[in-house]
Structure 1
Amino acid sequence: MHPMLNIAIRAARAAGNVVARSFENVDKIEVNAKGTNDFVTNVDLKSEEIIIETLRKSYPDHSIVSEECGQLPGKDSDYQWIIDPIDGTANFVKGIPHFAVSIALKVKGKLDQAVIYDPIRGEMFTASRGKGAQFNSVRIRVKAHKELSGTVIGTGFPQNAKASSEAYFSILSSVFAKAADVRHAGSPALDLAYVAAGRLDGNFQMGLKPWSTAAGELLVIEAGGLVTDFVGDHNHAKSGNVVAASPRLLKEMLTEMRPHLTAAMKK
């Protein structure tokens, strides 16, 4: 195992243990609004603190980007950790047991290591660039569907892109008409991990932040899938509009989406 992946796993487990213990006493979780329909809890902050402390202990010069604390520059800018201490905070707050700790590492701008940890189920998804993706240390692959028929597709309502909600629901309707079913589970990181593991056949979401997608993107790629924006380009880290699936299924998803895209979605 790559030493940096090992440290990321250690950080995810330590943070996940705190998150899982806190989940047993949901009534004691302190919740604050940081924006419209956007929440942060004291447990998010504690999880983030544990992750950063663990990473900095081994790699004090690396830079960090995290959902709650933002940018933490380091002396060695070639290495950047991207952290979501609880991906799926709304689920966590409501007592819905579906959320994850997400940690990714970029080396010279390229995704290099990834960890997504579900502390409730004890499920660890990991990937190293060029080395494949694993679920609890067992190799995983995306499902190689050629068409939408018979598939289960994950998505998420566009909380951070409500101006495009009409176009989004048109896309959803078009995809749903051809797929077997659609799921909205509330954790983009786990959605992407599930695509990598073959639990979901594809996923599309709007307005996501890099800390929600970075680890999942590498997982999907290393599991044999593709990740693009809504027009098939690689602007998803900037736009936040993400499509993930096996190569042939992704092509069909993009074809179904294309007639409904607004100008903003194409950027």
Structure 2
Amino acid sequence: MRLMTKVSLIAVAVFTLTACNKEAEQPKPLTLDTDAAKQSYSLGVSAGRFIDSTIKEHEKLGLPLASDVILRGIQDQLAGKAQLTEEEVQKVMVALEQTAREKQTELAKAQAEQNIAAGKAYLEQNAKKPGVTVTESGLQYEVVQAADGPKPKATDVVRVHYTGTLTDGTEFDSSKERGPAQFPLNQVIKGWTEGVQLMSVGSKFKFTIPSDLAYGERDMGTIPANSVLVFDVELLGIGEEAEQPKAEEATK
């Protein structure tokens, strides 16, 4: 999280001078007819966006910040009338940043626990659907389109088309627009390594992968920690390549 300690004082000052005039009922007309004016205004807008996002981030953590007090602090500093010493300001900001980190950790832990419970419930329901097979590891798969082609080994390089979604249907990756993905099968998540070995070239499978066979407790950006992942996979081919492309991000 970016905190106020990381804000450029110049940017904040410009924001205050260009966007904050609390005594005036309406702002004066502004003409942006020079590079300096546009640069100054852009710097102010950037600082304003940062302040707004910082306030919203802290609100999510249960740490409300008052925009009017923030701007008053800027004005007082510019006027040389700050009501806290530099040492006091630094002490408060360090404490705020520490509290924010602790809150983030608490929220992340709570969300991870919710994901575990939700994932377990989803897997239990999905396992009851007709056509779904559950392996010893807990991997669930459904044969969407059968084929009689060869099956890969874990040490093979495979070429696939795939789409990956969360259990709520949110798509986080797909090869459909980029073109087929190619990678060594033993260099991807466990659920892929196990599941694709069950496929014949030309077949299409749907895999529902428990979090411990995917990314586990790791938060992968658009993929929250402890997430069950759903992949629609088509195995296009098997073959060793002189130069093997890196594994796709969604399956590392």
> If the TM-score is normalised by the length of the shorter chain, which range does it land in?
under 0.3
For the pair shown, the structure with the greater C-alpha radius of gyration is: 2
What TM-score comes out, normalization by structure 1 length? 0.24
Larger strand proportion, structure 1 or 2? 1
Normalised by the length of structure 2, the TM-score is: 0.25
